[in-house]
């Protein structure tokens, strides 16, 4: 462990839990120079919990109060599936470690079970399909929630003041009032610092049919036209989205079926840091973006994609189509630049997709499909085991480091 890594020392634990209620043990889940996530366990019968700490002097600064508020919105509409936030320490209530460094923190109830990522490959197809159906139901529930709903406004009022005048957005893009501001915010979010990836040029149309052209700086990535009418629709189509429904953020628990056969059900949805109010096409595009990075299970991607489209997760309107096209330009331009710059995650993603023989369908609503077979049309995708994924990652790391 690097001595600069953040740790939950005695001062932090005493501040968060009180000197007489400190946990018996802590288990680190994530640790960097600016943040850490740990599980706290107690021997007095008190339930376990998860704590997230982020340094006040980090760049960008932490937004744990706002993340907690978004999770509270989710917990209101999905009770039992979204762990409750038990405590937050932000602003003047931030904790201070032994060195005098200040940290915002949040304490979340422990979601019993294990991640879907850990067990997915061991499940039967029937159990996989049942889990995906549960997720689809949860998504449909969230997509009935809008930013202007009174419950949402009440929960976000203090931690997210911009939400009171906004129509769509989230913490990473900012909350904005209209579609044009949203387009510009997305472009800034997906851009790389000091790198030219794409242009967003305003159309000068004398007939009034104006809007924007979105061009990639790379060959082979088609430009997209976004008309003003499309931009105007985006705020009307914005609904509450998790935006990172990867297997690592889905908690499942076992039950028994028949003669003791294990059967898993969804017991928790975690990590609401990316949550916000977007047209559904935005969340659909993120499923594509995360395949080969946050999600290394293509069969999960395929089943979830098929289920969401079957339940009218996103309507094939011109406005939704244009948003998918814009995000395609943004993401593929970004990935191309990262790959050329010997970015290891970008090389892992490319190797993963090539290994499985996946390519993006011309219909962006369909997403990733197999290049040479018809198998992906029924939701069946090729897959790699955990061992194969680990080996692929190690091979890429060695190759890229050798090139550097």
How far is the C-alpha of 143 from the C-alpha of 78, rounded, in Å? 12
Q: Where are the alpha helices (DSSP H) in 26-112?
A: 64-77
pTM of the model: 0.92
Pick 372 or 357 by higher pLDDT: 357
**Backbone φ and ψ of 114, nearest 5°:** -135, 165
pLDDT(208) > 80: no
Average of pLDDT values for 58-79? 93
pLDDT(358) > 70: yes
Pick 378 or 366 by higher pLDDT: 366
User: Could you report how far apart the first and last alpha carbons of the chain are, in Å?
Assistant: 25
Residue 206: predicted pLDDT: 61
Mean pLDDT for all residues in the chain: 92
User: What's the burial of 382, exposed, middle or buried (CB within 10 Å: 0-12/13-18/19+)?
Assistant: middle
357: number of Cβ within 10 Å: 14
pLDDT(257) > 80: no
Residue 114: predicted pLDDT: 93
pLDDT(338) > 70: yes
The tens digit of pLDDT for each residue in 270-316 reads: 999 999 999 999 999 999 999 999 999 999 999 999 898 888 788 89
pLDDT(126) > 70: yes
Q: DSSP per residue over 242-294, as a string? A: -S---GGGEEEEEEEETTTEEEEEEEEE---TT-EEE-HHHHHHHHHHHBTTT
State the CATH architecture for 10-109: 2-Layer Sandwich (3.30)
pLDDT(2) > 70: no
Element containing residue 49 per DSSP (H, E): strand 49-55
The tens digit of pLDDT for each residue in 367-391 reads: 999 876 655 556 678 889 999 999 9
* Cis amide bond preceding 25, omega within 30: no
The tens digit of pLDDT for each residue in 148-204 reads: 999 999 999 989 999 999 999 999 889 999 999 999 999 999 999 878 899 999 887
Q: Is 16 helix (H, G, I), strand (E, B) or coil?
A: helix
Element containing residue 327 per DSSP (H, E): helix 318-340
């Amino acid at each position: 462990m690097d001595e600069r890594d953040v740790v939950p020392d005695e001062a932090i634990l005493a501040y968060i839990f009180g000197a007489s209620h400190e946990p018996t043990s802590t288990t680190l889940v994530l640790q960097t120079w600016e943040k850490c996530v740990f599980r706290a366990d107690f021997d007095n019968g008190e339930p376990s919990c998860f704590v997230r700490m982020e340094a006040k002097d980090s760049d960008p600064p932490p937004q744990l109060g706002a993340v907690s508020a978004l999770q509270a919105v989710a917990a209101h509409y999905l009770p039992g599936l979204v762990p409750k936030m038990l405590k937050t320490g932000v602003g003047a209530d931030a904790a201070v470690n032994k060195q005098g460094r200040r940290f915002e923190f949040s304490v979340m109830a422990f979601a019993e079970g294990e991640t879907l990522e850990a067990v997915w490959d061991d499940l039967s197809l029937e159990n996989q399909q049942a889990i995906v159906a549960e997720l689809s139901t949860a998504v449909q529930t969230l997509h009935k929630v809008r930013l202007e709903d009174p419950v949402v406004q009440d929960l976000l009022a203090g931690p997210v003041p911009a939400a009171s005048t906004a129509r769509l957005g989230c913490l990473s893009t900012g909350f904005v009032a209209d579609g044009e501001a949203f387009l510009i915010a997305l472009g800034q979010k997906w851009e790389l610092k000091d790198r030219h990836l794409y242009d967003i040029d305003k159309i000068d149309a004398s007939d009034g049919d104006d809007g924007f052209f979105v061009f990639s700086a790379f060959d082979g990535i088609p430009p997209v036209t976004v008309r003003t009418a499309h931009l105007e629709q985006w705020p009307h189509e914005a609904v509450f989205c998790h935006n990172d429904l990867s297997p690592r953020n889905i908690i499942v628990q076992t039950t028994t079926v028949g003669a003791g056969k294990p059967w898993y059900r969804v017991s928790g949805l975690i990590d609401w840091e990316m949550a916000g109010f977007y047209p559904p096409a935005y969340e659909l595009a993120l499923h594509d973006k995360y395949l080969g990075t946050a999600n290394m299970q293509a069969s999960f991607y395929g089943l979830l994609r098929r289920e969401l489209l079957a339940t009218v997760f996103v309507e094939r309107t011109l406005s939704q189509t244009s948003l998918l096209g814009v995000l395609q330009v943004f993401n593929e331009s970004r990935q191309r630049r990262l790959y050329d710059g010997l970015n290891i995650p970008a090389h892992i993603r490319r190797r993963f997709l090539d290994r499985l023989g996946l390519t993006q369908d011309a219909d962006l609503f369909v997403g990733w499909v197999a290049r040479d077979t018809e198998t992906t049309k029924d939701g069946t995708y090729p897959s790699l085991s955990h061992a194969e994924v680990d080996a692929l990652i190690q091979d890429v790391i060695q190759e890229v480091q050798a090139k550097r």
